[in-house]
Amino acid sequence: MSALQNFHVVSSPVHFQELLSQDLSRISLINFWAPWAAPCAQMNEVVLELSRKYPELLVLQVEAEEQPDIAESFEVEAVPSFIILRGHTLLGRISGADASSLTSSIAAHLRPVSFVQAKSYSNAQPAPADTETPAQLEERLRGLMNRERVMLFMKGSPDAPRCGFSRKTVGILRDHGVQFGSFDILSDESVRQGLKVINNWPTFPQLIVNGEFVGGLDIIQEMIENGEFDEVVVGKAQ
């Protein structure tokens, strides 16, 4: 679609991770689209113009139905949808053909004089009196993360996973003989959103070892390839 060096049509989950991991300090815009959705045609032009205007912006064009694993990992349920990241840190999400919001959001994150901070509990909306405070939620999250030596926060349960990434991660853990506990993040929205913040990671599943965040499926697969998995996960789980 374009010869721009910062504009890439994603061909696979591996290609996606390779592009995203080249510079973890870089701002990325992920455009989830479909050829049959008329609003996407208009927004594709907006995205292309943004890639021209901001050469420092990494633009990843993802055809949602052709790359279901990527779309699922970001919980994309409709197109067009836009995800803004710094490395793996979620900065923003825009749903629908809202060119104005997308343009202003990209401009804000790339404005040279501004410093963009990752989401934190301190700038979250105040909790109603009858719900958890951010401090209470963090305490609960830490407790869940330490419930077992190895904890997997996933969609569904190990015997009934509700997404492909969760299913693959369970398979890896079982194949390596790792005993682990699990938590269905679809059962608790506070846990689901809180883990994204506390672990600075926007997608699921999330693997925790001895209370420490290890990574998602892509990181786990990398660790297996370079030999770290047996030491970090299997070793610590024993």
Same CATH topology for 7-110 and 133-237: the answer is yes
Q: Is the pLDDT of residue 2 over 80?
A: no
| Average pLDDT for 159-182 | 89
46-97 pLDDT, tens per residue? 999 999 989 999 999 999 999 988 998 888 888 999 999 988 888 889 999 9
At the fourth CATH level, which superfamily is domain 7-110? Glutaredoxin (3.40.30.10)
Burial 7-37 (b: 16+ CB within 10 A, else e): bbebeebeebbebbeeeeeebbbbbbbbeee
pLDDT of residue 111: 61
| Average pLDDT for 24-42 | 92
pLDDT of residue 145: 94
- Average pLDDT, rounded, for the chain: 84
Domain locations in the chain? 7-110, 133-237
110 or 12, greater pLDDT:
12
What CATH code would you report for 133-237? 3.40.30.10
96-134 pLDDT, tens per residue? 998 988 998 898 888 643 333 333 333 334 444 456 788
**Whole-angstrom distance, CA of residue 114 vs CA of residue 77:** 32
> What is the CA 3 to chain-centroid distance, rounded?
27
Find out whether 176 and 233 touch, Cβ atoms under 8 Å.
yes
Q: Categorize the per-residue pLDDT at 170 as very low, low, confident or very high, splitting at 50, 70 and 90.
A: very high
